Structure 1
Amino acid sequence: MSNHDDTSPDSTGNELNALMTDAEQAAVRTLVDGSITSPIPEREGVIDSLFSALSHPGRRYILTFLLRSEGYVTMSEIVDYVVESTDGGSGPEFRRKVTVKLTHTHLPLLEEEGLLTYNMERQLIQPTDRTKLAAPYLKIALMQCEQLAELSNS
Structure 2
Amino acid sequence: MSYICVGIMSIQTPPAEDATAETVDDHLSLSKDDLFHLLQNGRRRAVLRYFAVHPEQEEFNMRTVAEAIAAWENETSVEQLTSNQRQRVYIALYQSHLPKLDDYGVIEYNQSRGLIVPTPLTALFEPYLEAEFDAAPLDQRITVSDDRSSFGLSTVRSLLNR
What's the TM-score once normalised by structure 2's chain length?
A: 0.60
User: What secondary structure sits across from 1:125 in the alignment?
Assistant: strand
Assess, with a 3 A threshold, how the Cα gap between structure 1 residues 141 and 82 changes in structure 2: closer, same or farther: closer
1:43 aligned partner: 21
2:63 aligned partner: 76
Decide which structure has greater helix share.
1
1:63 is aligned with what amino acid?
L
CA displacement, residues 18-61 of structure 1 (integer Å, 9 cap, x when unaligned): x99425xxxxxxxxxxxxxxxx4562662211111011110011
2:91 aligned partner: 100
Which one has the largest radius of gyration?
A: 1
1:134 aligned partner: 125
CA displacement, residues 64-112 of structure 1 (integer Å, 9 cap, x when unaligned): 1112221011011101111111128821012111111001111011111
Number of aligned residues: 117
Dislocated runs of 4+, deviation >6 Å: none
Counterparts of 1:51 and 1:150, CA distance in 2: 29
Structure 1: runs of 5+ lacking an equivalent? 1-18, 24-39
Percent of aligned pairs sharing the same letter = 25
Aligned pairs (5 A) from 1:5-16: none
Assess, with a 3 A threshold, how the Cα gap between structure 1 residues 123 and 52 changes in structure 2: closer, same or farther: same
Greater relative contact order structure (CA < 8 Å, 6+ sep): 2
Assess, with a 3 A threshold, how the Cα gap between structure 1 residues 106 and 88 changes in structure 2: closer, same or farther: farther
